[in-house]
A = this chain, B = another copy of it.
């Protein structure tokens, strides 16, 4: 046995040296969770006592991350190598062959705040600030994120906590400012397939001279998000300065929020919420409002469809959510109006990126087959925005919006916005379709939005842009036996078969009552 300071000094040198590995890009996409792959029999794992799933600190000379360790027992990795997931590679800004050091991270302080929330204590502003900062820096594993999200559902956030969370989410990302007194925005609380009003609303509102810098999301659990639909018409992955140029020139834009970096914590949390199918009121409010505040909005209209298979299902839920949204918006000086609408059936005809784009174009181009429900919803939202934003007097909004849509100014503005974003495209057309027909005659009395969305997703939407569902019958329609209720559209026969299989084993997506 030895016990001298020389041994210690040697140990220090050893451990410094031993903790260096050559970084190797493995090309593995693990989304937000940074992952490092190391040999289980490498010196570092043994010296540091790392196990599979340990959280480890990975450092370059200038950057550091906390990553989840997967141990490798086969030969595809050398002892001297550390394999890194795509997210870890990007976050560290590595080049192939660079060295990284690997060691134990300090315990995450903010996790003790999450535990305290689990046990029923309120989170103060500083706690939420550090939690959100750690989340955006990738310091939370999926397991830890899940615990935070579950805790905020099981111990619902009170107003003060929601305000603090919203603040924290805004502060951690980019924030736009505009040299104008009025900047308007809109948001749909979602859950209603085909409700693609945004492109029409932006075109009308911008044509009337208001500023509307709209960022939209891609689909999370739905067959299409506004960004997915717009992407079939023009580029949406603009960065923040390109977005600014479009808005300065045309007064409005419709871009993907993910590329702009507003409220980045939201993008990370929402992926875990999807897996858990948890969406607490507090987190929904912070998610919606943080994006609007970060975009620099002064006035926002919130479209809240209400129906048995929409996201908001009861008048009580709508009232509670509205109260929370308005109260939190007010504390930020953001003027908000909530428009509740019928959420009992899909809007327009198409469900899926390109199919919805077709409906949007039909409304803007005033085609004879344009879906009236989509047109009316867009006009109603645009009217509220025009009045809120002072473009016209109260009560005149609908008339102004209709005039601008009907005389072609909205369509003209939409084309100019698309040109500014990179050029107008023609949406793709699906290669395969198959109608699902009524098996009995009768009247349509209910449509299950959720399962209809599932059919569209199984057909390939939103990744297969042309895929989805066309709705052929609406509530109250009388249908004969054999008449199409909806048509499945797909890019490949495999996807068509997959969606049809589901539709055939869910024959009550449309409820038809005999006369």
Residue ranges of A at the interface with B (Cβ–Cβ < 8 Å) = 1-3, 7-8, 10-12, 14-15, 18, 25-31, 37, 40, 46-49, 51-53, 55, 70-76, 85-86, 104, 111, 115, 117-120, 141-147, 149-151, 153-155, 271-272, 275-278, 429-435, 457-458, 460-461, 463-464, 492-498, 500-501
Report Cα–Cα, A463/B146, bound state, in Å: 29
B residues near A271, Cβ cutoff 8 Å:
53
B residues near A115, Cβ cutoff 8 Å:
276-278
B residues near A143, Cβ cutoff 8 Å:
142-143, 145-146, 272, 275-276
B residues near A277, Cβ cutoff 8 Å:
111, 115
B residues near A460, Cβ cutoff 8 Å:
47, 49
Question: Which B residue's beta carbon lies closest to that of A147?
Answer: B150
B residues near A55, Cβ cutoff 8 Å:
275
Known: A11-B494, A115-B277. A30 touches B53 (CB 8 A): yes
CB distance from A245 to the nearest CB of B (A): 31
CB distance from A101 to the nearest CB of B (A): 13
- A493's partner among B14, B25, B31, B492 (CB-CB below 8 A) is B14
User: Is the pair A3, B433 in contact by a Cβ cutoff of 8 Å?
Assistant: yes
Of A29, A73, A119, A464, which is in contact with the most chain B CB atoms at under 10 Å from its CB? A29
B residues near A73, Cβ cutoff 8 Å:
27-29, 86
Question: Which B residue's beta carbon lies closest to that of A73?
Answer: B27
B residues near A25, Cβ cutoff 8 Å:
74
Known: A7-B493, A26-B76. A120 touches B71 (CB 8 A): no
User: Is the pair B14, A70 in contact by a Cβ cutoff of 8 Å?
Assistant: no
Q: Could you list 19 examples of A-B contacts with CB < 8 Å?
A: A7-B434, A7-B493, A8-B493, A10-B493, A11-B496, A26-B74, A27-B73, A28-B37, A30-B52, A31-B51, A47-B492, A53-B142, A53-B271, A118-B154, A119-B154, A142-B146, A144-B146, A147-B149, A150-B151
CB distance from A8 to the nearest CB of B (A): 5
User: Is the pair B142, A15 in contact by a Cβ cutoff of 8 Å?
Assistant: no
- A11's partner among B11, B14, B111, B495 (CB-CB below 8 A) is B495
CB distance from A142 to the nearest CB of B (A): 5
User: Is the pair B49, A464 in contact by a Cβ cutoff of 8 Å?
Assistant: yes
CB distance from A484 to the nearest CB of B (A): 11
User: Is the pair A47, B15 in contact by a Cβ cutoff of 8 Å?
Assistant: no
B residues near A153, Cβ cutoff 8 Å:
118-119
CB distance from A69 to the nearest CB of B (A): 9
User: Is the pair B494, A47 in contact by a Cβ cutoff of 8 Å?
Assistant: yes
CB distance from A123 to the nearest CB of B (A): 13
Question: Which B residue's beta carbon lies closest to that of A7?
Answer: B493
Inter-chain pairs besides A11-B496, A142-B142, A150-B154, 19 sampled, C-beta below 8 Å:
A7-B432, A11-B493, A15-B494, A28-B72, A28-B74, A29-B52, A29-B72, A30-B52, A47-B460, A49-B458, A53-B271, A53-B275, A104-B458, A119-B153, A143-B272, A144-B276, A146-B147, A147-B150, A154-B154
Report Cα–Cα, A111/B76, bound state, in Å: 36
Known: A27-B73, A31-B53, A46-B463. A8 touches B497 (CB 8 A): yes
B residues near A48, Cβ cutoff 8 Å:
498
B residues near A141, Cβ cutoff 8 Å:
142, 275
In order of increasing CB-CB distance, the 8 nearest A-B pairs are: A27-B74, A11-B497, A11-B493, A154-B154, A15-B494, A146-B146, A150-B150, A27-B73
User: Is the pair B49, A457 in contact by a Cβ cutoff of 8 Å?
Assistant: yes
User: Is the pair B30, A70 in contact by a Cβ cutoff of 8 Å?
Assistant: yes
Report Cα–Cα, A43/B145, bound state, in Å: 31
B residues near A146, Cβ cutoff 8 Å:
142-144, 146-147, 150
Report Cα–Cα, A145/B143, bound state, in Å: 8
Report Cα–Cα, A73/B25, bound state, in Å: 10
User: Is the pair A495, B47 in contact by a Cβ cutoff of 8 Å?
Assistant: yes
Report Cα–Cα, A458/B150, bound state, in Å: 32
Report Cα–Cα, A117/B278, bound state, in Å: 12
Report Cα–Cα, A141/B327, bound state, in Å: 36
B residues near A118, Cβ cutoff 8 Å:
150, 153-154, 278
Question: Which B residue's beta carbon lies closest to that of A114?
Answer: B276
Known: A28-B71, A142-B142. A497 touches B76 (CB 8 A): no
Report Cα–Cα, A272/B145, bound state, in Å: 12
Of A55, A70, A150, A277, which is in contact with the most chain B CB atoms at under 10 Å from its CB? A150
CB distance from A238 to the nearest CB of B (A): 23
Report Cα–Cα, A429/B1, bound state, in Å: 9
Question: Which B residue's beta carbon lies closest to that of A35?
Answer: B70
